Structure 1
Amino acid sequence: MQLLRYCVGLDISKDSLQVCLSVIDTNGRVVVKGSTKVANKPAAFAQLEPWVSKHCKTDNLPLRYIMESTGVYHEAIAWYLYQKDQAVCILLPNKAKHYLKSLGYKSKNDKIDAQGLARMGLEQQLTLWKPLSKNIYSLRLLTRQHQRFQEWKTQCRNQQHALDYSAIGDDFITKQNAKLLAVYDQQLEALEKAIQKLIEEDTVLKAQVERLTAIKGLAMLSVAVLIAETNGFEGFANQRQLVSYAGYDVIENQSGNRSGKTRISKKGNSRIRRILHLPAFNAVRFGEPSCQALYERVYQKTNTKMKAYVAVQKKLLLLAYGLWRHQTMYDPMHSIQAKRETLSTSKSDQNDKKIVPTSGTTQDQSTVAELSFG
């Protein structure tokens, strides 16, 4: 019986790391080789490597570390291991949670969670983690701070609106709200300048942002959020993965003769969907060709404006991904010309082969159905 690889599961809290080292053999049997606990402090991370080496009896076997993304508490150990040239995998908490449920564990504690993570790392081929670059990490901090101030400003304005129309007002609170709104406006302006300065100082990032802002509806702040929240679209092998990460993937609810409501999952990065909300309106309003055509098709099919605007949001995301990945300048008419060529080719093929549709769905109807989600 031959051993295949080792995996270290890390269940992370604010103060400690629960560690479990497991190994898998050629028969698929997983064996726990040891468990320990170390402090979640950079000074204590040096204890981890000697402990792992002590329990890895077989040399030259692959070793990887797996953990959940628990706020910011996992970042220090993840960066430490990455700088030590260790293979690191970081999972979303809901993915690890569902896997642990599938194992049938009735109890839950840090030790069990660490064992489950180690087992998951052995049984599945997980994507290795790659940290954000320094500039993109700083950009993410700035854009998230901008979102927080924008939310506080909206909350303050709503509070003042309610106070203005209430039966009894209060001059003191009104003055406080006015001062807070002035502070929020000042800080939002400062954050936008800091974001612009960071982009201007990075020549590569600046060139990419200029490509993306050529799309009508996408401004500098919107593009900055997309770059920061996707790590410069790093780690996405295809469009489907990006759509799922943003929560735009479609969920069906059908069983037998029952056909429920089809909707987007919204199980993804909500900041991406939030920042694309207004750009979708602007893209349609200012006549971005592909977005406007998509909006009209979906609205004609569903008779629901919001569904059409959500389809435009997804379209903007995929346009940005394509321009970033291929590093090409934006051509507003490219997608429409490609679709026209595809339609003309399919129609000519049908005429040559004299194909008669066997169902009630026409070629135009099926094309609209395929393009309704961009």
Structure 2
Amino acid sequence: MAEHTIGVDISKSHLDVFDAERREAKRFENSISGFRAFEKWLGKLEIARVVYEPTGPYHRNFEERFCDKLPLIKVNPLQARRFVEACGTRAKTDALDARGLARMGIALDLQPDTPVAKTTRILKDLQVARTALIKERTRLNNRAHVLTHAVLKRQTKARLALVEKQIAELDKEIDTFIDTDKAIARRRQIVTSIPGLGSVASAAILTYLPEIGTLDRRQVGSLAGVVPYNRDSGQWKGKSFISGGRKPLRDALYMPALVAMRYNPDLKAKYEDLRAAGKPAKVAIVAIMRKLIETANALVKADRVWVPKNT
């Protein structure tokens, strides 16, 4: 029996799907009833992969409904678009996008993603909300410095107090969710043993890198977006640069790197060596960020806490 590759373009109201083997397209509502109709349409087909793009809040229900039922593959929208254009398709419609996603899955032999645990999905929602509050706190603090009217000062102060309270409430909820999962709690214990990585940073790392402990050095660095890539062509040699990866994870590593290069003896020595070799401060900091995430990944894989090299 042939294995089927399904492309799914998800919008606010509809799912446009395409079965590459049957060469059949169909549209369903992006709703519970639409999901049931989609399952009925699939029937007892042998499904190799279901390829879709993240679309903000619109793909969430689809992902949660089918993560344990179908071999889902979530692809980068930019890469999907470039693939379609490389195939010679310039027009863009929902139906064409679904067809392109199916073709991409077959051509690149994409493999299904590991299902995301419910705890991880909840932690991500909490982390996203926390990040928004941190940005709001920064905005209010910046505004407070230039206000002169008494009413505006009082209102801004009250908003800041509310935001601080909400951040503390989210931190408590994140800690509670981590503590209720023994595996995640153990990983957090290991990660926080590394000087520079506190409870907030470790929670962000475990949320945005649930694969930690299962990756090699290159993979974990690439996912964090801290691996430099060459820019060479013929005799021209450009500067290496970092790109891609998971931005929230990279953001979570920046402040810990600043702390680690002062108080983590291993990373402090590494930073000083890089600076002594003439590396710019930003390059040295990125190197520390990469070393932090690589160390955390290696320790979680070995299931042991950090100890200084001289002990």
- The question of 1:71 aligning with 2:56 is answered yes
Q: State the aligned residue count.
A: 311
In structure 2, the partner of 1:179 is: 158
CA–CA distance in structure 2, aligned partners of residues 43 and 62 of structure 1 = 21
Look up the equivalent residue of 2:202 and give its one-letter code.
V
Query: 1:277 pairs with 234, 254, 275, which one?
Result: 254
Secondary structure in 2 matching 1:241: helix
Q: Which runs of 4+ in 1 moved over 6 A?
A: none
| CA displacement at 1:184 relative to structure 2 | 1.2
| CA displacement at 1:276 relative to structure 2 | 1.1
Distance 1:197 1:89, change over 3 A: same
CA–CA distance in structure 1, aligned partners of residues 200 and 302 of structure 2 = 22
CA–CA distance in structure 2, aligned partners of residues 123 and 11 of structure 1 = 18
| CA displacement at 1:321 relative to structure 2 | 1.0
In structure 1, the partner of 2:36 is: 46
Does structure 1 conserve the Cα–Cα contact (< 8 Å) formed by 2:191 and 2:197?
Answer: yes
RCO greater where, 1 or 2, for CA within 8 Å and sep 6 or more?
A: 2
In structure 2, the partner of 1:157 is: 141
- Mapping for residues 220-299 of structure 1, pairs under 5 Å: 220-233=199-212, 237-265=215-243, 267-286=244-263, 288-299=264-275
- Give the TM-score, by structure 1 length: 0.78
Secondary structure in 1 matching 2:80: helix
| CA displacement at 1:128 relative to structure 2 | 0.9
In structure 2, the partner of 1:359 is: none
| CA displacement at 1:118 relative to structure 2 | 0.8
Secondary structure in 2 matching 1:233: coil
Query: 1:145 pairs with 129, 133, 140, which one?
Result: 129
Secondary structure in 2 matching 1:73: helix
Deviates more, 1:141-150 or 1:43-52: 43-52
Distance 1:285 1:237, change over 3 A: closer
| CA displacement at 1:82 relative to structure 2 | 3.1
| CA displacement at 1:147 relative to structure 2 | 1.2
In structure 2, the partner of 1:5 is: 3
CA–CA distance in structure 1, aligned partners of residues 144 and 203 of structure 2 = 31
Look up the equivalent residue of 2:259 and give its one-letter code.
N
- The question of 1:319 aligning with 2:295 is answered yes
Per-residue CA distance 1:251-307 (angstroms, 9 max, x = gap):
222223332222211x22111111111111111111x13211221122122342221
**Structure 2: any 5+ residue segments left out of the alignment?**
none
Per-residue CA distance 1:325-356 (angstroms, 9 max, x = gap):
2212222218xx9xxxxxxxxxxxxxxxxxxx
Per-residue CA distance 1:84-105 (angstroms, 9 max, x = gap):
3x22211121221221121111
CA–CA distance in structure 1, aligned partners of residues 291 and 223 of structure 2 = 14
Query: 2:118 pairs with 120, 126, 134, which one?
Result: 134
Does structure 1 conserve the Cα–Cα contact (< 8 Å) formed by 2:18 and 2:99?
Answer: yes
Secondary structure in 2 matching 1:231: coil
The percentage of aligned residue pairs carrying the same residue is 27
- The question of 1:170 aligning with 2:170 is answered no
- Mapping for residues 326-365 of structure 1, pairs under 5 Å: 326-333=302-309
Secondary structure in 1 matching 2:277: helix
| CA displacement at 1:38 relative to structure 2 | 0.3
In structure 2, the partner of 1:125 is: 109
Does structure 2 conserve the Cα–Cα contact (< 8 Å) formed by 1:200 and 1:206?
Answer: yes
**Structure 1: any 5+ residue segments left out of the alignment?**
24-31, 164-168, 338-374
Per-residue CA distance 1:235-257 (angstroms, 9 max, x = gap):
x5422222222211212222233
- Give the TM-score, by structure 2 length: 0.93
- Mapping for residues 79-98 of structure 1, pairs under 5 Å: 79-84=64-69, 86-98=70-82
CA–CA distance in structure 1, aligned partners of residues 109 and 241 of structure 2 = 29
